[in-house]
Amino acid sequence: MFLTKPRNILILACSMFLVFGMFNAAIGPVLGELAEQTGSTLAAVGSVITFLFLGSLVTQLATGPLTDRYGQKPLLLTSLVLVGVCLPAFINARSLPLMLTLVFLTGMGQGGLDLGANLIVSSAYPKNNTSVLNLLHFFFGLGAIVGPAMVSLTLVTLGSGLIVHWFAAAVFLALGVVVFTMRETKPGNKPGTDEQNATISNAKSVYLSPILWLVCFMILVYVGVEYGSGSWASSYMASTTGLAIENGALVTSAYWAALTLGRLGGAALGSRTTRIRLLIAAVLVSLVGASFLVLGRGVVSLSTIAFILLGLSYGTIYPTSVGVMVAVFPHHQGKAVGLLTALGSIGGLSLPWVAGVLLEKVSPLAYSLFMVAGGLIMLALLVVLGRLLKMGSMT
């Protein structure tokens, strides 16, 4: 835990996530520039997103236990330097193999940044981490809205959208300097651990916990349907309503804006209800949205409302789930949250592709039912999770 005011830690983490969201969302709009730069096709250079997720997955699987042992500062500092150095190198690469290698390393830094920021905020606000975690992820969404807009601005004024990524790298390195100057208590000397509930005595028992795997598999499904919705909204609107692609893109923007607002809602409600109730309420609203998607096929207004409801409901699920992990595994947060983020990356790598195949190769109805199925699976996992938490008196 860092030896500074909790508010300072929150400002630091939110700054990281703002730039994190900005550079992530700004990758798609510059794929054309990257393709031209490497002499590759757009389809080939699009694999940079896959390699970014793969790099994140490696870090999230490997560094959770190391964070519990050595603290959060080494993870955050290494991650910020890795992204700050590899991001400009990746966007400046002139061959596709070199670019994919560098984007993989950037992804490794991104994975550590994601894990580390969640952990430092949870440690700073142990009694109210649900609200602050939702606030943290709101800043990621805000960055995701700002990033593409900055690319558009720099393309018009300076002729290149890659300048946004140079800016992001500079900010990450500056934040690395800030982290370097901060002091941290040793993991074995965390204050207040005698008062924490539900202590898991050893690492092996963490990975054997059914609670851990229930939350992780729910996040795998969640990330899949979240990105499955956001990635294919424009195509879905075009195939079912005949909406022009530029107008379909507005529906996609509305979806991500609603998801960002949903995180503000989670921040507001986090201190007023239990985590499990907040998660169940969110999934129930997502099922309403998915049902609108099924029943409103071909109707622009109903389909748009469906994507907005999905975005609003999805917003709080990930940060609130991180809050559950921190509450249940207070002495092994790195292991628990690391596995959760890793399973989320696996969901992001696989399920949006399945959603796209269903939409393009089967039918829009199959795609809609995929979203309903995702909500039902999450609800079933949460019902079981709620019972286990109630038995252990943890909510």
Following CA atoms 19, 25, 30, 32 in sequence, which dihedral angle do they give, to the nearest 10 degrees?
A: 160
If asked whether residues 139 and 218 sit together in one domain, one would say no
Q: 24 and 79: one domain?
A: yes
| C-alpha–C-alpha distance, residues 196 and 215, integer Å | 20
Structural domains in the chain (count): 2
Q: How far apart are CA 151 and CA 251, in angstroms?
A: 20
pTM score, two decimals?
0.81
User: Is there a single domain that holds both residue 269 and residue 167?
Assistant: no
Q: Is the pLDDT of residue 127 over 90?
A: no
262 found inside a domain: yes
Residue type, 333: Q
pLDDT at 196: 40
Is residue 45 one of the residues assigned to a domain?
Answer: yes
State residue 50 phi and psi, 5-degree precision: -60, -45
160 and 295 part of one domain: no
Query: Which two tokens mark 112?
Result: 């550590």
**Which DSSP letter does residue 361 get?**
I
Same domain, 169 and 271: no
133 and 215 together in one domain: no
Q: Does residue 167 share a domain with residue 110?
A: yes
Asked if residue 197 is part of any domain, the answer here is no
Q: What is the mean pLDDT of the chain?
A: 86
Task: Say if CB 55 and CB 99 are below 8 A apart.
Answer: no
Check pLDDT > 50 for residue 197: no
Give residue-wise pLDDT tens across range 5-47: 889 999 999 999 999 988 887 887 787 888 889 998 877 887 8
For residues 334 and 257, state if they share a domain.
yes
What confidence score (pLDDT) does residue 50 get?
81
**Residue 194 belongs to a domain:** no
Write out the residue range of the structural domain in which residue 110 sits: 6-185
- Position 198 scores a pLDDT of 43
What confidence score (pLDDT) does residue 373 get? 96
pLDDT at 261: 93
Same domain, 153 and 226: no
Give the amino acid at 114.
Answer: D
Handedness of CA 104, 62, 110, 71 (dihedral sign): negative
Q: Is residue 192 part of a domain?
A: no
The CATH number of the domain where 291 resides is what? 1.20.1250.20
CA distance 253 to 250: 5
The residues near 80 (Cβ < 8 Å, ≥ 6 apart) are 16, 109, 113, 172, 173, 175, 176, 179
Question: Does residue 195 lie in a domain region?
Answer: no
Could you tell me if residue 149 is inside a domain? yes
Are residues 143 and 15 part of one domain? yes
pLDDT value of position 331: 79
Q: Which of 386, 353, 129, 142 has its CA nearest to residue 283?
A: 386
On the question of pLDDT at 213 being above 80, the answer is yes
- Dist CA 254 CA 256 (whole Å): 6
Average pLDDT over residues 201-215: 80
- Predicted confidence at residue 246, as pLDDT, reads 66
Claim to verify: residue 181 and residue 225 sit in the same structural domain: no
Alpha-carbon distances of 66 from 1, 178, 319, 326, 341, rounded to whole Å = 14, 22, 22, 16, 15
Q: Are residues 156 and 216 in the same domain?
A: no
Would you say 359 and 236 are in contact if contact means Cβ atoms under 8 Å apart?
A: yes
AA identity, residue 88:
P
Question: Does residue 187 have a pLDDT over 70?
Answer: no
For 393, what's the count of Cα atoms within 13 Å in the CB-facing half-sphere?
A: 4
